[in-house]
Amino acid sequence: MPQRLGIAVIGAGMAGRAHASAWRTAPTVGTGELPDIELVSVCDIAGDLAAATAARYGYSRHDTDWHDIVNASDVDIVSVVVANSLHKEIVEALLAAGKHVLCEKPLTDTVDDARVMVASAERADSIARLGFTFRRAPGLAAIRDLINDGTLGTVSHINAWYWTDYACSPTAPMSWRYKGELGTGALADVGSHLTDTVEFLAGPIQSVSGGRFHTAITSRPLPLGHVVGHDHVEVSDEYEPVGNDDYAGFGVEFPTGSGVIQVSRIAAGHPNSLGVEVFCANGSASFDFRFPGQIVLNQSIDGAAATGLTTIQLGPDHPYIADGLPMAAPGVGVGQNDGFTFQARAFLDEVVGRPEAESLPRCAHFSDGLHALQVRDAVIASANDNGTTKEVTA
Ligand SMILES: NC(=O)c1ccc[n+]([C@@H]2O[C@H](COP(=O)([O-])OP(=O)(O)OC[C@H]3O[C@@H](n4cnc5c(N)ncnc54)[C@H](O)[C@@H]3O)[C@@H](O)[C@H]2O)c1
Question: 292: CA distance to ligand 1 center in Å?
Answer: 24
The verdict on residue 214 lying in a domain is: yes
Question: In CATH, what number is assigned to the domain containing residue 303?
Answer: 3.30.360.10
Confidence of residue 376 (pLDDT cuts 50, 70, 90): very high
The region of weakest confidence among 3-12, 157-166, 229-238, 254-263 is: 229-238
Question: 298: CA distance to ligand 1 center in Å?
Answer: 39
Same-domain status, 83 and 13: yes
Higher-pLDDT residue of 204 and 328 is: 204
Report d(CA 127, CA 129) in Å as an integer: 7
Question: 10: CA distance to ligand 1 center in Å?
Answer: 8
Task: Tell me the mean pLDDT in the region 10-14.
Answer: 97
Q: What is the pLDDT of residue 361?
A: 95
Residue nearest to atom 25 of ligand 1 (CA): 11
Q: What is the pLDDT of residue 307?
A: 66
Does ligand 1 come within 6 angstroms of the Cβ of 66?
yes
Same-domain status, 129 and 144: no
Confidence of residue 113 (pLDDT cuts 50, 70, 90): very high
Structural domain range at position 129: 4-133
Contact 140, 289 (CB under 8 A): no
Question: In CATH, what number is assigned to the domain containing residue 41?
Answer: 3.40.50.720
Domain boundary (91, 108, 133) is at: 133
The verdict on residue 387 lying in a domain is: no
Q: What is the pLDDT of residue 272?
A: 94
Does ligand 1 come within 6 angstroms of the Cβ of 5?
no
Which of 167, 109, 105, 165 shows the shortest CA–CA distance to 134?
105
The verdict on residue 165 lying in a domain is: yes
Q: What is the pLDDT of residue 233?
A: 87
Confidence of residue 323 (pLDDT cuts 50, 70, 90): confident
The region of weakest confidence among 148-157, 166-175, 220-229, 352-361 is: 220-229
Q: With 60 as the cut, is the pLDDT of residue 347 above it? A: yes
The b/e string for 26-51 (b: 16+ C-beta within 10 A; e otherwise) is: bbebbeeebeebbbbbbbbebeebbb
The verdict on residue 267 lying in a domain is: yes
Q: What is the pLDDT of residue 331?
A: 82
Question: What is the DSSP-derived secondary structure letter of residue 127?
Answer: -
Collect all residues with Cβ–Cβ distance below 8 Å to 391 and sequence separation of at least 6.
Answer: 206, 207, 378
Report the residue among 68, 82, 101 best suited for mutation to probe ligand 1: largest number of ligand atoms under 8 A from its CB.
Answer: 82
Mean pLDDT of the chain, nearest integer: 95
Same-domain status, 97 and 185: no
Q: With 70 as the cut, is the pLDDT of residue 303 above it? A: no
Predicted TM-score of the model (pTM)? 0.96
The verdict on residue 51 lying in a domain is: yes
Q: What is the pLDDT of residue 304?
A: 57
Q: What is the pLDDT of residue 241?
A: 97
Report d(CA 186, CA 165) in Å as an integer: 10
Task: Tell me the mean pLDDT in the region 250-279.
Answer: 97
Question: 14: CA distance to ligand 1 center in Å?
Answer: 6
Count of domains forming the chain: 2
Task: Tell me the mean pLDDT in the region 260-277.
Answer: 97
Q: With 90 as the cut, is the pLDDT of residue 299 above it? A: no
Confidence of residue 369 (pLDDT cuts 50, 70, 90): very high
Q: What is the pLDDT of residue 302?
A: 61
**H or E segment and range at residue 377:** helix 366-383
Q: With 80 as the cut, is the pLDDT of residue 108 above it? A: yes
Which ligand 1 atom is the nearest neighbour of the CA of 340?
1
Q: With 70 as the cut, is the pLDDT of residue 305 above it? A: no
Check the CA dihedral 232-233-239-243 and report its sign. Answer: negative
The number of residues in the chain equals 394
Q: What is the pLDDT of residue 266?
A: 98
Domain boundary (133, 149, 177) is at: 133
Question: What is the DSSP-derived secondary structure letter of residue 204?
Answer: -
∠ CA 150-152-158, nearest 5°, is: 130
Question: 150: CA distance to ligand 1 center in Å?
Answer: 39
Q: With 60 as the cut, is the pLDDT of residue 367 above it? A: yes
Same-domain status, 275 and 152: yes
Q: How do residues 46-101 score in pLDDT, each as one tens digit?
A: 999 999 999 999 999 999 999 999 999 999 999 999 999 999 999 999 999 999 99
Does ligand 1 come within 6 angstroms of the Cβ of 109?
no
Q: Which amino acid makes up residue 83?
A: A
Question: 308: CA distance to ligand 1 center in Å?
Answer: 43
Does ligand 1 come within 6 angstroms of the Cβ of 84?
yes
Confidence of residue 247 (pLDDT cuts 50, 70, 90): very high
